[in-house]
A and B are shown apart, each in its own frame.
Chain A
Amino acid sequence: MPRMSGAQILLECLRQEGVEYIFGYPGGAVLPIYDALYDFRDIKHILVRHEQGAAHMADGYARATGKVGVCLATSGPAATNLVTGIATAQMDSIPMVALTGQVRTTNIGKDAFQETDAIGITMPITKHNYLLKRTEDIPRVIAEAFYIARSGRPGPVLVDIPLDVSLGKIEWDPSQYEKDPDIPSYRPTYKGHEMQIRKAAQAIREAKRPILYVGGGAVQSGAQEEVTELSERTNILVTTTLMGKGAIDETHPNSLGMLGMHGTAYANYAVHNCDLLIAVGARFDDRVTGKLDQFAKYAKVIHIDIDPAEIGKVVHCDIPIVGDVKTVLRELLKYVEPRPATEWNRQIMEWKRKFPLVYPKDGQMHAEFVIDEIWRVTEGNAIITTGVGQHQMWAAQYYKVKRPRQFITSGGLGTMGYGLPAAIGVQLALPNETVVCIDGDGSFQMTVQELMTAVVYELPVIVAIINNRSLGMVRQWQELFWSERYSEVDLQASPDFVKLADAYGAIGMRVTEPEDVEPAMREAMSQRKKPVIIDFVVPTEENVYPMIPSGQSIEQMMLRKDLEQLRATVDTDGEEWSFADQEQILRQFVEQPARQ
């Protein structure tokens, strides 16, 4: 048996787990690991500029591929720099293994140089974490970490590795490495309960106004085919959450786009009026539900989720099904009979015509127009990453994705600065794809240093900055809910993004006229060796609509004020329409019998 150091054993374990990339940054407590990496050929290390970037890259890589992303940082400040990235992965259930160095076991608890309690700090933001105490535990712990990260409801796992553990040498036979070990106290449920699935099929058969509400769980389990088949067979229309984008092709006639705070009016009307809500891998986030006692208040609820704790956490559930979304839908499809499109479908389609997602095509370069153009020029095929804010919501509304893992965004945690590093992780995983980070001028500046990483590794990510020279989403809230008291949202003072790109060795462009969006995008897409920053200068005082204010119900949904005029530009059937129709939509089904 070869005699190996802990660091060598660690890398061998990672190799056997199929790790292609480690996103990391060296330091004292991980020096043995970096020394072992020096001549380890099977794994490529990506040197980032800040550990937060490493975590987001590992996360982006994981979201794009479904594989476990790996990041590596030293102890102390490096471990704390990973925290935002780990929390981001945790909130969106992303499989990730974060490796941190730690001071020697004999120094733990002594306030040693660069010591932090990485385990204690990350306990609430990981699926699980480990402090390694002995070199011989490395193979078991790494195998468990990867298995836990990718199985069941995925999530980040942190392994904290003291210096003496990675230095220590033991006899170890790499062929003994055992992937997917059995952990008796951890056995996720994949197969749904058959009785419950039959009940769900019956509820679908009996429902008059059913809606599919599909979340990130469907993306994670790769259930696009099943969601689409269920929707097509039953003519039940589909609305997705931000994380669920791509669970059905958004250009499919059965797709209603996103629901919730900035969801489409028609998706929200459909959910409001439905009598059966089929929640598929979704967790009833407050940005989806708004005021809970008003959310889908006439509906019976079927909830399919791999995590039993999600069922009944937020809303009452009538038919719970614990299991993997894809597996459960496969079973469900055995019992679900074809069902014709009904008056309900016609009704929703009418709402879709009456309350479309529109923006003015008035010669101004609106943010929505830029995103619409990016969608058109990339033929809806680009992989999109985003920061957080108005640009993120506009991207979610206007970039209609075709497939799962195509829209990569920090949904649960809402991490500004996620977009660029995530795009780097995605581009490394999928070198032939067009990767566009639709970013905000605020978000971009939070992790801008990773531009260097993209340049060094010759990654042609396109960063489309929707530059409104403002922290737009906060500005919007201050305009609408805080009496236009614009407190600290002005970002007029920002670097010249074109010069900044140049300084980093990337390509920079500025676009101020609508007709220049397409040529700029085409030029950016022709670059296959360098990142491109496009500074799209858009108006400052624009809001994301529709909007259901936080904690309120659909009754308070705000539509854009010019919707009536704009609608005429997209719908020419001449049908009379006015805002007054909203009232009727909300009352229309009230008289219908609600579930007991």
Chain B
Amino acid sequence: MAGNAQNGREHQHTITALVQNHPGVLARVAGLFARRGYNIESLAVSVTENPDISRMTIVARGDDRVLEQITKQLNKLIEVIRVVDYVEHSAIERELALIKVNAEPKNRSEILQLAEVFRGRVIDVSEKTFLIELTGGPEKIDAFARLMAPYGIREMARTGVIAMARGTKTA
């Protein structure tokens, strides 16, 4: 039956858009999200194996219909070549984080051990801090950040998620 299409439970999707590598294309995508009131959790953009094409990985939140609209509205942009919503495919998601954490002499070995468990690397050391580089899925980075919090995180930068389908399938 007809009726309001804006209902249902909210969840998070990872969407990849292959776009023409033109100036302004990021503004078009960002503008679309802002204008239509879609929630964006993270956005990562970079060039692909083809220098004419960029790959945007967008993590967005919404109910099924909002997420369907996001995909459709993205597809409508002239410079968007292809949109893949990874909810339908099994995909690997990765993010890179740089975390600058307080490292007092008494805590150093503890922090190093935790970093090792998470396969993080200390890439810069000062008298009072470690700068740790960590890659993984967003949950892994969240978990590591939680563990570092008691020591005092001075600064954290995350790239946002990038994603790719498993196997031979490509976007």
Q: Which residues of A contact B (CB under 8 A)?
A: 119-120, 123-124, 127-128, 131, 148, 183-186, 277, 292-293, 295-301, 307-309, 312-316, 594-595
What is the predominant secondary structure among interface residues of chain B facing chain A?
mixed
> Does the CB pair A293–B4 fall under 8 Å?
yes
Q: How far is the CB of B148 from chain A (nearest CB, A)?
A: 40
Interface range on chain B (Cβ under 8 Å from partner): 20 to 34
Is there a chain A Cβ closer than 8 Å to B150's Cβ?
Answer: no
Residue from A293, A301, A313, A594 within 8 A of B69 (CB atoms): A313
Given contacts A131-B24, A185-B80, A313-B69, contact A296 B75 (CB under 8 A): no
How far, in whole Å, are A184 and B73 apart by their CA atoms in the complex? Answer: 17
Residues of A within 8 A of B1 (CB): 296-301, 316, 594-595
Q: Known contacts being A127-B78, A185-B78, A186-B78, is A308 close to B72, with CB within 8 Å?
A: yes
Q: Chain A residues near B76: list those with CB within 8 A.
A: 307, 309
Proximity string of chain B (2-28) to chain A, C-beta cutoff 8 Å, 1 when within and 0 when not: 111100000000000001100010011
9 shortest A-B CB distances, which residue pairs?
A309-B72, A296-B2, A292-B4, A185-B81, A128-B78, A315-B2, A293-B3, A186-B78, A293-B4
**Interchain CB contact (< 8 A) of B3 among A119, A184, A297, A307:** A297
- How far is B3's CA from A124's CA once the two chains are assembled, in angstroms? 27
Q: Which residues of B contact A293 (CB under 8 A)?
A: 3-4
Give the residue among B5, B80, B82 with the most A Cβ atoms within 10 A.
B5
Highest count of chain A CB atoms <10 Å: which of B2, B27, B82:
B2
Q: Smallest distance from the beta carbon of A95 to chain B beta carbons, Å?
A: 15
| Complex: A119 Cα to B28 Cα, angstroms | 10
19 new A-B contacts at CB < 8 Å, known A148-B78, A185-B80, A293-B3? A123-B28, A124-B35, A131-B24, A292-B3, A292-B5, A293-B4, A295-B2, A297-B3, A300-B1, A307-B76, A308-B72, A308-B75, A309-B69, A309-B72, A309-B73, A312-B68, A315-B2, A316-B1, A316-B5
Closest residue to B72 on the A side, CB-wise?
A309
Pair B24/A119 contact, Cβ less than 8 Å? yes
Q: Which one of B3, B24, B72, B78 lies within 8 Å of A295 (CB-CB)?
A: B3
B31, CB-defined interface residue at 8 Å: yes
Which B residues lie within 8 Å of A183 (CB)?
A: 78
Interface centre among B27, B35, B72, B80 (most CB of A within 10 A): B72
Cβ B2 vs Cβ A277 within 8 A? yes
The answer for the CA separation of A299 and B65 in the assembled complex, in Å, is: 20
Q: Counting chain A CB atoms within 10 Å of each CB, which of B1, B65, B75, B82 scores highest?
A: B1
The distance in angstroms between the C-alpha atoms of A120 and B78, with both chains bound, is: 16
Which residues of B from 31 to 89 have beta carbons under 8 Å from A?
A: 31, 35, 65, 68-69, 72-73, 75-82
Are A314 and B5 in contact, CB atoms less than 8 angstroms apart?
A: yes
Neighbouring A residues of B73 by C-beta, 8 Å: 309
- Of A119, A128, A185, A297, which one neighbours B2 at CB under 8 angstroms? A297
CA of A327 to CA of B77, assembled, Å:
24
Contact B24 A124 (CB under 8 A): no
Q: How far is the CA of A89 from the CA of B144 in the complex (A)?
A: 52
Distance in angstroms between the alpha carbons of A183 and B31 in the assembled complex: 22
Task: Determine the distance from Cα of A267 to Cα of B66 in the docked complex, in whole angstroms.
Answer: 30
Contact A184 B81 (CB under 8 A): yes
Contact A120 B27 (CB under 8 A): yes
Q: Which of B3, B5, B24 contacts A313 (CB 8 A)?
A: B5
A300 surroundings in chain B (CB, below 8 A): 1
B153 to nearest A CB, angstroms?
A: 36
Whether B2 contacts A299 by the Cβ 8 Å rule is yes
- For this complex, 7 residue pairs linking A to B, each with C-beta atoms less than 8 Å apart, are A120-B27, A148-B78, A297-B1, A297-B3, A312-B68, A313-B72, A315-B5
CA distance A185 to B79 in the complex (A): 6
- Hey, which chain A residues are within 8 Å of B2, CB to CB? 277, 292, 295-297, 299, 301, 315-316
Bound complex: CA of A296 vs CA of B5, how far in Å? 13
Complex: A292 Cα to B27 Cα, angstroms: 32
A298 to B27, CA, bound (A): 42
Residues of A within 8 A of B24 (CB): 119, 123, 131
| B127 CB to nearest chain A CB (Å) | 43
Smallest CB gap from A594: residue in B: B1
Nearest residue (CB) in A for B74 is A309
With the chains together, A124 CA to B69 CA distance in Å? 16
* Cα distance A299–B4 in the bound complex, in angstroms: 13
Separation of A298 and B2 alpha carbons in the complex (Å): 7
- A295 CA to B4 CA in the complex, in Å? 9
Chain B residues, CB < 8 A from A124: 31, 35
Docked Cα-Cα span, A312 to B24, in Å, equals 29
